Structure 1
Amino acid sequence: MIREWNTKLLKLMQNSAHPQSAPNPAGKGTESSDVGLKFVMIFMGILLASAIVIHLILGLQFRHYLHTHGQADQEAQERQVLPAVAQSRQLWPEPHLQISPTTDLEHFRDRENIELQSYGWVDKKAGIVRIPIDRAMDLLLQKGLPVRTSTNAAQTGGSNLQLIQDRRGEYVPPQGGNQ
């Protein structure tokens, strides 16, 4: 009985679809060859020729417009500009270019060093002076930095916003709190 079933099953399998390992009949579903080089080269040639023609046409058109309309535009502008304005355009100064950046930087640093190492007024009306850095460090060593004492140890400064408002004279302390 099993043999009968096996033979029937084999007959059914032979009549069923082709197995996957079998070659596809008549080569259906695949390309027979690559893209033809002849057609690609013809297309590239047409593309190159059209690009050259377009550039030539645009160049000729530009020259035509420059020749015919350029002179007319310049004449119209000259007629519209007042003589004084036209003269001032000719007398306009040339740009001041930095000829030697290294010497300019050296001069700048020399001026800054002289300012940092000499006495002078920052704001004469307010009585603010400038002193040399070495002298400021000596004064700081003599007097020392401000130190918190036991009387002001718990106090802290205001926030950045409060300090900015204080500087502008806008700050109003909040009611009912110790700030």
Structure 2
Amino acid sequence: MPTDNHDLGKNVAGGTPPASDQKSGSPGYELTDVNVNGVVVFLGGLIGFVFVFFFFCFLMGRVINTQFLKQDGEATKWRREAGGVDTDRKRQNLASNPEMDQKELQKMTAIFPTPRLDVDDGNQSIADMHAREDLLLDHYSTVNGMPGSVRIPIDRAMQLIVERGLPVAVASGPKTILAGDEQPSVQAPLTTGFARTGYELDTIEARAQKMSYTKAAGESHAELVPQK
């Protein structure tokens, strides 16, 4: 069957090229196996390099941490490492955040001896002391170590004194005053109670203004609501 020289030298579908088209020394597949020894040596060297690198990082971290501990000095009960153990000062972690700092500060404050300096010039401590005194002066309370005894509010005590009067001491004989002795005299206090600090006065004034504002707002709201 003539082809008019159109199919000469072309591959047949699904066939192999003629032997004349194949280059010498290139059969189309690998003539040798993979060098297994070279692959094993490369992987072993890579793994060894990774181990050496991490060991070097660990060693450098220990050296740097040791230098920092030497600079900080010996640990005392007033100064501990953040997250550290009291015995060997090894750090559990290197986390440094406000929560951990606050916990360390609370722990230090709990064991710090008294008296301590106040950070607000004693305003809050004085206000707390006066609040405790107000509770004792304005409310009923029991007396420790005296069963059956009850403290009464100071206003009620003043009313009872006005109604019943002060107890009168039993008259005793005249006492002989020696030379140089003076008759003691009791003077009334200049104030009716303890003096309030400026911090407490400001707090009381702010509370009164808030209460008056709330009362005025309630009254204005009541006026706006139509009466049924």
TM-score (norm 1): 0.33
Which one scores higher on RCO, CA 8 angstroms, separation ≥ 6?
2
TM-score (structure 2 length as normaliser): 0.27
**Larger helix proportion of the pair:** 1
